[in-house]
Amino acid sequence: MNAENITGFKLEKTKTSQTSKIDYFVPELNRNRQDIIEEQPHVDLINALKGLNSYLANIFHADKEYAGIYEITGYRYNGDKIILTGKITTDTGSIVGIATPGIDTDGDSYGFEEELSKDIATLSLEVHDFLIGKKTGVKQLTIYDQPPDEE
């Protein structure tokens, strides 16, 4: 399996936890799978995900003044098209989930499809490394966690 097999990623946060849902294709089994990981993603993955915020704001025609209320939460492939998912926070503090229409990265509807394709490839690589355990974030210890035994 490689980064090209990643078909989707979603980062879900609550006040007390964070969950990453990773959708991927397993060629050996000819099946799609989903793994849920409750570990902290690596900072490179978080930065690659945040790098998609501007695309989300651009698609919804946000002015620079309002672009900051758009927060990307993930992406998924729908056939050959990419769907970005995210949320906006309203003035009253309500959170509204949003999703873009399918974006054809071979097309030229928005003018940034080539850059989006490269950024999704970078994010897919980071998600792949996170999935296989190559790159994870730092786990926050709680008072109940025991440090590893030293040898």
DSSP tag of 4: G
The shares of helix, strand and coil residues in the chain, as percent rounded to the nearest 5, are 25, 35, 40
Bin 44: left if φ > 0, else alpha if -120 < ψ < 50, else beta: alpha
Give the predicted TM-score (pTM) of the model: 0.84
Question: CA–CA separation, 83 vs 27, rounded Å?
Answer: 23
Task: State mean pLDDT over 43-63.
Answer: 91
Number of Cβ within 10 Å of residue 6's Cβ equals 25
- In contact, 83 and 103? CB cutoff 8 Å: yes
Domain residue extents for the chain: 3-131
- In contact, 17 and 139? CB cutoff 8 Å: no
Task: State mean pLDDT over 130-149.
Answer: 66
Question: CA–CA separation, 58 vs 112, rounded Å?
Answer: 10
Q: Which residue type sits at 128? A: H
DSSP tag of 22: E
Question: CA–CA separation, 112 vs 24, rounded Å?
Answer: 25
Task: State mean pLDDT over 116-145.
Answer: 81
- In contact, 55 and 120? CB cutoff 8 Å: no
Closest of 66, 77, 63, 68 to residue 116, by C-alpha: 77
For 35-47, what is each residue's pLDDT tens digit?
A: 999 988 999 999 9
- 11 or 137, higher pLDDT: 11
